[in-house]
Structure 1
Amino acid sequence: MTAAAPPAKPAHRRAAEAGQRAFIVFGGAADQPWLRLLRPGFRHCFAVLADATGWTVLDPLSGRLVVARLEVPAQFDLPGFYRRAGFAVRGPFAPGRPRWRLLPPLAPFTCVALCRAVLGAGAPFAVTPWGLFRALDNDRKNILTPMRLSR
């Protein structure tokens, strides 16, 4: 007889135990004409994930999702790089538990939807990048708790 394998942990718990951190990056580029209606400097957002071995960027561009594993050391200060490049950065956040839904979402897949999905069930409601930035900046209810970085 072989011993049964221990039950698998949910993905969000494995990510948290592995030390995964999420950063949300906001920028002002408008590659589509309708994006010019959004607040300058907050026309797009994307997620950056850090783990023990490096950095992964999740960037929903017009018509496709770019997932890139960057060839930089895990110690590289990618959020600082984005800040120096003029982007607004929020985080780090611990991976949250998944959002439970009875029905599939009816909202379109946007950059904000991707960032909220990365943050998990505790992500604040927002429709625009500026709304998400403000919600993350003004999160006083401790629903989504930023992680403390140990140095």
Structure 2
Amino acid sequence: MSGEEMPRALVVFSGKAELAWLRLLRRGFRHCFVVVETQAGWLCLNPLAHRTALDLWPLALEFDVAGWLRDQGLIVVEARLIQPPRRQAPVSLYSCVEAVKRVLGIHAAWVVTPWQLYRYLTNAENNP
């Protein structure tokens, strides 16, 4: 990764729901987190209900992180980090989706559930 290149990001979706109300969300899309490639490995930002976990996974850059996550039954989408316009992001409740959107630079106010984020990211127009 050169100094001018934007790092790769992987958005990861899970169907696990430890909180009862999360079971109302679409099966397979009840939580999301983001993993960003850095020179030191992969930085994982996992926004949980009780805290936000920030962990460095010191893996070789050639390691297939997406495949490893998929092997654990997770859904993985490669995403671009974009430079959004320099204006206030839409006001929203803090959630795993909102945290991931902020990392990626997404200002789509209508994207509020993990399923909506998945659909947004898998639309080629939004994530070429």
What secondary structure, in the 3-state scheme, does the structure 2 residue paired with 1:114 have?
helix
Compared with structure 1, are the counterparts of its residues 121 and 19 closer, same or farther at alpha carbon in structure 2 (3 Å cutoff)?
closer
Query: Does 1:46 find its partner at 2:29?
Result: no
Residue matched to 2:119: 134
What secondary structure, in the 3-state scheme, does the structure 2 residue paired with 1:82 have?
helix
Q: 2:6, 2:81 within 8 Å by CA — same for their partners in 1?
A: no
Q: 2:90, 2:107 within 8 Å by CA — same for their partners in 1?
A: no
The unaligned stretches of length 5 or more in structure 2 are none
Compared with structure 1, are the counterparts of its residues 63 and 123 closer, same or farther at alpha carbon in structure 2 (3 Å cutoff)?
same
Query: Does 1:59 find its partner at 2:46?
Result: yes
Q: 1:99, 1:121 within 8 Å by CA — same for their partners in 2?
A: no
Query: Does 1:97 find its partner at 2:66?
Result: no
Separation of aligned partners in 2, 1:99 and 1:24:
22
Matches within 5 A, 1:76-115: 76-91=63-78, 93-102=79-88, 105-115=90-100
Number of equivalenced pairs: 127
Matches within 5 A, 1:138-149: 139-141=123-125, 143-145=126-128
Separation of aligned partners in 2, 1:124 and 1:17:
29
- Structure 1 outlier segments of 4+, above 3 Å: 121-125
What percentage of residue pairs aligned between the two structures are identical? 38
1:97-120 residue CA offsets vs partner (Å, 9 max, x unmatched)? 034335x64311111111111211
What secondary structure, in the 3-state scheme, does the structure 2 residue paired with 1:42 have?
coil
Larger-Rg structure: 1
71-80 or 34-43: which moved more?
A: 71-80
Normalised by the size of structure 1, how large is the TM-score?
0.73
Normalised by the size of structure 2, how large is the TM-score?
0.85
The unaligned stretches of length 5 or more in structure 1 are 1-14, 146-151
What amino acid is aligned across from residue 100 of structure 1 in structure 2?
A: R
What amino acid is aligned across from residue 46 of structure 2 in structure 1?
A: D
- Per the TM alignment, residue 121 of structure 1 is displaced from its structure 2 partner at its CA by 4.0
